[in-house]
Amino acid sequence: MMIIPAVDIKNGKCVQLVQGKPGTEQVVIENPVEVALGWQTRGASVLHVINLDGAFGNSGENLEIIEDLIRTVSIPVQLGGGIRTKSYAAKLLNMGVNKVILGTLAIENPEHVNELSNEFGSDRIIVALDSKDSRVVVKGWTEKTESSVPELAELFENKGAGGILFTNVDVEGLMEGFDVRPLLSLLEAVEIPVIYAGGVTSLDDIKKLSQTSVYGVVIGSALYKNRIVFEDALAYQD
């Protein structure tokens, strides 16, 4: 299981939000590039970078910072947030992003997943399925669909996605742990790698995840608030 630090960027800074809501910043660090380099120095094998301004509608915001971050670190970067068109996804992949994370774009245009997978390789395409009240939500978690995570995961596996990022919005950023059952249902539905995010607060949570077949876990607030020591979490990395 991969231990993946989150670097969420908003207004040019590294932040942590509660349940993705603007105005709930609990951690604000001035230089996201230095933060990313710090995780690499401490042993991270991959970084999870989210352009929060992009997720909230301003895709071009923070792009220079993201380019600088990719040039500075030597480990792979998976990037999401505001990737609303196939051409923008292609631009990011050509820019050096290792994997793009597609949310709203994938759900509104599933064929784009197939097209991007064919052009760049399925291993570079992750589909984000964010769940609130057992339904997938889109557009920065502001709109709820009628679909469940397992059914959409099966669809995107068939469309050529190389992985699924599953975020449990109900517990994201609350630092209260999580229910593993929705993840287990997803893992039963697909064979492609699944990365989990949401509510990971303690080493016990990481241990619980390590006992499943999940490919990786994204950790944000718990690392930035020192609830989990990154080096201790790496003990559970395969």
The catalytic site residues sit at 8, 130
Q: Which amino acid is at 82?
A: G
Backbone phi, then psi, for 161, in 5-degree steps? -60, 145
Residues 6+ positions from 123 with CB-CB distance below 8 Å? 99, 162, 163
Backbone phi, then psi, for 76, in 5-degree steps? -65, 145
Residues 6+ positions from 152 with CB-CB distance below 8 Å? 107, 127, 129, 136
> 232 and 28 in contact (C-beta within 8 Å)?
no
The CA distance from 114 to 118, in Å, is 6
Residue tagged 């959409």 (tokens)? 152
The CA distance from 58 to 78, in Å, is 19
Distances 139 to 53, 119, 135 between C-alpha atoms, Å: 11, 25, 14
The Cα diameter of the chain in Å comes to 42
The encoded tokens of residue 199 equal: 């509510």
